């Protein structure tokens, strides 16, 4: 399979190479930009703390600002091309393109940047509350339909292609127009209009005295995706952590890598979407700038004729593949045809028990398979039935997976996965299949193992006790890459003109003190059982060096007689001798032959010819 991979990567023009290499390296790219508007309630209730005696408790407005700042900083790192905006409603002053009262557009849809982060940062804490009152102020009346109208206008003013449009509404008022049925009706109508134009509205409701009742008004306002359960809604947030989890769950649109047909048999097929749940985070590459203007520069590649230096067009070149000693020349159309192995899709081969999937089969991060109704109606029902039966019988589906036209087929297994919700009714695990890549026979290696030194039962029991003491609940999302985190904090400090960057905590380092406290005397007891009494871990390196020197002195010398050397020189076969043999011969005759084999050959040949 490795040969196919290299062939698929090396063929084609530069643009094709870039597209093909992305998924192989774990990078997946999407077209269009995500756009997100934060619509924040700025009425007086949002600035009131739930517990008046607790000064450290954040007000609903402060929690909203903290949440927005978190999204801004994450977007700067992960996808700085996305568009973000902040709109306040229920304000004293107004600032919008339609001149509606009590609506203030703080930031229009644009890329997240340092200036925008600093502008939002000024609304944090008690000083931020005072700054907000001085700059914008709290109002007493507003119309939610007008606020949604302003957001729709912000989307329509953008010139870029947008892959997804979303409004995130932060409020702690569950019935904003309880005394005005006309305003409530207009808000419901406007929300329906937004849904029809592809704009999603998500509610981030915050805690209020007496509880937040979503059924009073917002059940008819918020957008429910086709694949979401209408009866499941997030609970109100009283803590910043809960609100952040909600925002992260709704922040990004579920964008499919591709929509493919999943063939169960010759006549039965359904449509599925393939999603990427895990992607390796890379440090972004530096951008080349023109030194005089600091403008980004572009790199262009041109092909020239070696003989006369003339510029070659794509039509002037052909491609070749070496087979043995022969060069096979191919036209561009032939290479395209060769790369098309099969039509994109999933083809079911059969089912196997889940226990047959082993950890050592892991090749790369899995993808996620979810039903799509776009190409085949009824795909969701068929997919759900297949998932339910696979979970009941504890089996996995083995398939052949071809992601794109110019991709080789992969041998994969679909592992069923149940839906899980946490105590806030936020989806932790979605229902669907994990698409796990399986190795081909060519990918498996036979690794030579050294002989095992068996431990006695007493040593095994002692190590079991140590392992039991050091166990902890591992979650991969609890550990951030310290190198990446520090890199982005350094950039953040430069962008925001901070005195010094915040130091990232390296969570990958073991907590030595806590481990020693847990283990107590167990480590010393284990050392006594395993190592000899005079064992010194500090002196191990020195002792090893001495052993290496001793073994070097004891190494048998490779000697060649003078007659053999003369015979080799006369026949021209001196090159058959190994480098150690030639070096030893030079040492015996007191010659300085250098380090390379050719230099040793020349030195010995010259010595015997002159002699």
pLDDT tens-digit readout, 390-421: 999 999 999 999 998 888 899 999 999 998 88
Instruction: Please report the DSSP string for 290-305 in residue order.
Output: -TTT--B------EE-
Question: 3-class SS at 16?
Answer: helix
The b-or-e profile of 293-316 (16+ CB within 10 A means b, else e) is eeeeeeeeeeeeeeeeeeeeeeee
State the Cα–Cα distance between residues 348 and 268, nearest whole angstrom.
11
Confidence at residue 386, expressed as pLDDT on a 0 to 100 scale? 94
Question: Is pLDDT larger for residue 3 or for residue 241?
Answer: 241
With CA atoms as reference, report the closest residue to 175 among 139, 217, 142, 235: 217
State the Cα–Cα distance between residues 373 and 353, nearest whole angstrom.
29
pLDDT tens-digit readout, 118-167: 888 888 888 888 888 889 888 878 889 999 999 999 998 888 888 788 89
Which tokens belong to 30?
Answer: 């999407």
Confidence at residue 250, expressed as pLDDT on a 0 to 100 scale? 60
Which tokens belong to 482?
Answer: 């310290």
pLDDT tens-digit readout, 18-36: 333 344 444 555 556 888 9
CA distances from 275 to 67, 174, 278 (A): 26, 35, 9
The b-or-e profile of 446-468 (16+ CB within 10 A means b, else e) is eeeeeeeeeeeeeeeebeeeeee
Active-site hit among 9, 29, 359, 511: 29
Q: Name the pTM for this structure.
A: 0.58
Supply the mean pLDDT for the chain: 80
> Among 17-31, 422-436, 439-453, 502-516, which stretch is predicted with the lowest mean pLDDT?
17-31
Question: 3-class SS at 335?
Answer: helix
Residues 75/130, Cβ–Cβ less than 8 Å: no
Confidence at residue 104, expressed as pLDDT on a 0 to 100 scale? 92
pLDDT tens-digit readout, 47-66: 887 666 556 678 888 888 88
Confidence at residue 463, expressed as pLDDT on a 0 to 100 scale? 93
- pLDDT surpassing 90 at residue 444: no
State the Cα–Cα distance between residues 421 and 427, nearest whole angstrom.
4
With a CB cutoff of 8 Å and minimum separation 6, the contacts of 536 are none
CA angle 106, 107, 109 (to 5 degrees): 150
Confidence of residue 387 (pLDDT cuts 50, 70, 90): very high
Confidence at residue 54, expressed as pLDDT on a 0 to 100 scale? 58
Question: Is pLDDT larger for residue 426 or for residue 508?
Answer: 508
- pLDDT surpassing 80 at residue 95: yes
Q: For residue 88, list its beta bridge partners.
A: 40, 104
To the nearest whole percent, how much of the chain has pLDDT over 90? 19
State the Cα–Cα distance between residues 148 and 155, nearest whole angstrom.
11
Burial (CB < 10 A; 0-12, 13-18, 19+), residue 480, is middle
State the Cα–Cα distance between residues 110 and 326, nearest whole angstrom.
56
State the Cα–Cα distance between residues 405 and 8, nearest whole angstrom.
11
| Range picked from 6-20, 324-338, 453-467, 587-601 for highest mean pLDDT | 453-467
Residues 437/410, Cβ–Cβ less than 8 Å: yes
Q: Is the dihedral of CA 532, 534, 537, 540 positive or negative?
A: negative
For residue 575, give the DSSP letter.
G
CA angle 428, 430, 435 (to 5 degrees): 125
Confidence at residue 249, expressed as pLDDT on a 0 to 100 scale? 59
Question: Is pLDDT larger for residue 189 or for residue 204?
Answer: 189
| Range picked from 358-372, 420-434, 546-560 for highest mean pLDDT | 358-372
3-state secondary structure 484-540: HHHHHHHHHHHHCCCCCCCCCCCCCCCCHHHHHHHHCCHHHHHHHHHCCCCCCHHHH
State the Cα–Cα distance between residues 36 and 38, nearest whole angstrom.
7
- pLDDT surpassing 70 at residue 328: yes
Confidence at residue 587, expressed as pLDDT on a 0 to 100 scale? 82
Confidence at residue 487, expressed as pLDDT on a 0 to 100 scale? 85
State the Cα–Cα distance between residues 462 and 66, nearest whole angstrom.
49
Which tokens belong to 541?
Answer: 């390196």
Q: Is the dihedral of CA 381, 277, 351, 441 positive or negative?
A: positive
Confidence at residue 85, expressed as pLDDT on a 0 to 100 scale? 93
> Among 179-188, 293-302, 356-365, 525-534, which stretch is predicted with the lowest mean pLDDT?
525-534
pLDDT tens-digit readout, 253-289: 567 788 899 999 988 999 999 998 877 777 778 888 9
pLDDT tens-digit readout, 165-194: 889 898 888 888 888 888 889 988 998 898
Instruction: Please report the DSSP string for 40-90 in residue order.
Output: EE-SGGGGS-SSTT-SSSPPHHHHHHHHHHHHHHHHHHH-TTSEEEEEEES
Which tokens belong to 182?
Answer: 């006309």
> Among 159-163, 197-201, 337-341, 544-548, which stretch is predicted with the lowest mean pLDDT?
544-548
Confidence at residue 229, expressed as pLDDT on a 0 to 100 scale? 43
Alpha carbon 300 to its chain centroid, in Å, reads 29
For residue 546, give the DSSP letter.
H
Which tokens belong to 553?
Answer: 């002195």
**Is 554 labeled as catalytic in the residue annotation?**
no
Residues 97/150, Cβ–Cβ less than 8 Å: yes
State the Cα–Cα distance between residues 155 and 37, nearest whole angstrom.
9
CA distances from 554 to 3, 431, 547 (A): 45, 66, 10
């Amino acid at each position: 399979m490795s040969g196919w991979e290299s062939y698929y990567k090396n063929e084609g023009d530069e643009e094709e190479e870039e597209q093909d290499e992305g998924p192989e390296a774990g990078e997946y790219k999407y077209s269009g930009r995500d756009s997100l508007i934060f619509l924040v309630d700025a009425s007086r209730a949002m600035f009131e703390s739930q517990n008046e005696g607790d000064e450290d408790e954040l007000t609903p407005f402060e929690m909203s600002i903290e949440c927005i700042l978190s999204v801004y900083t994450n977007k700067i790192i992960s996808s700085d091309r996305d568009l973000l905006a902040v709109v306040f409603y229920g304000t004293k002053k107004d600032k919008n393109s339609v001149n509606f009262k009590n609506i203030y557009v703080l930031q229009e849809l644009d890329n997240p940047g340092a200036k925008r982060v600093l502008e939002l940062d000024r609304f944090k804490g008690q000083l931020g509350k005072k700054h907000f009152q001085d700059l914008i102020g709290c109002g007493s009346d507003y119309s939610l339909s007008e606020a949604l109208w302003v957001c729709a206008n912000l989307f329509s003013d953008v010139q870029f292609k947008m892959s997804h449009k979303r409004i995130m509404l932060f409020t702690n008022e569950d019935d904003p127009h309880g005394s005005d049925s006309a305003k409530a009706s207009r808000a419901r109508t406007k929300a329906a209009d937004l849904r029809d134009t592809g704009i999603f509205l998500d509610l981030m409701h915050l805690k209020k005295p007496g509880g937040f009742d979503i059924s009073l008004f917002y059940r008819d306002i918020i957008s429910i995706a086709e694949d979401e359960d209408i009866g499941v809604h997030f609970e109100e947030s009283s803590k910043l952590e809960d609100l952040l989890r909600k925002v992260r769950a709704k922040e990004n649109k579920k964008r499919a890598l591709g929509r493919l047909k999943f063939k169960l048999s010759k006549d039965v097929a359904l449509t599925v979407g393939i999603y990427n749940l895990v992607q390796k985070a890379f440090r972004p590459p530096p951008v080349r700038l023109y030194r005089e203007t600091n403008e980004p520069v572009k790199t262009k590649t041109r092909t020239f004729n070696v003989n006369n230096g003339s510029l070659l067009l794509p039509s002037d070149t052909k491609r070749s593949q070496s087979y043995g000693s022969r060069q096979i020349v191919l036209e561009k159309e032939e290479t395209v045809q060769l790369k098309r192995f099969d039509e994109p899709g999933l083809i079911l081969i059969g089912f196997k028990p889940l226990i047959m999937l082993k950890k050592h089969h892991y090749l790369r991060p899995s993808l996620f398979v979810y039903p799509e109704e776009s190409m085949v109606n009824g795909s969701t029902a068929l997919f759900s039935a297949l998932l339910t039966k696979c979970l009941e019988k504890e089996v996995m589906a083995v398939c052949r997976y071809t992601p794109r036209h110019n991709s080789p087929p992969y041998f994969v297994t679909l592992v069923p996965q149940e839906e899980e919700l946490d105590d806030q009714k936020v989806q932790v695990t979605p229902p669907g299949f994990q698409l796990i890549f399986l190795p081909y026979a060519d990918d498996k290696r036979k690794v030579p193992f050294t002989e095992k030194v068996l431990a006695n039962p007493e040593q095994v029991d002692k190590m079991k006790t140590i392992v039991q003491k050091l166990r902890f609940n591992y979650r991969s999302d609890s550990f951030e890459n310290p190198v990446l985190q520090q890199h982005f904090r350094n950039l953040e400090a430069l962008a925001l003109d901070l005195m010094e960057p915040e130091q990232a905590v390296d969570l990958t380092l073991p907590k030595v003190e806590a481990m020693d406290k847990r283990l107590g005397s167990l480590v010393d007891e284990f050392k006594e059982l395993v190592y000899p009494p005079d064992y010194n871990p500090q002196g191990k390196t020195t002792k090893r060096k001495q052993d290496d020197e001793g073994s070097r002195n004891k190494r048998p010398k490779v000697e060649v007689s003078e007659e053999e050397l003369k015979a080799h020189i006369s026949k021209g076969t001196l090159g058959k001798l190994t480098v150690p043999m030639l070096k030893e011969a030079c040492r015996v005759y007191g010659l300085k032959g250098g380090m390379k084999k050719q230099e040793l050959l020349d030195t010995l040949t010259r010595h015997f010819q002159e002699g």
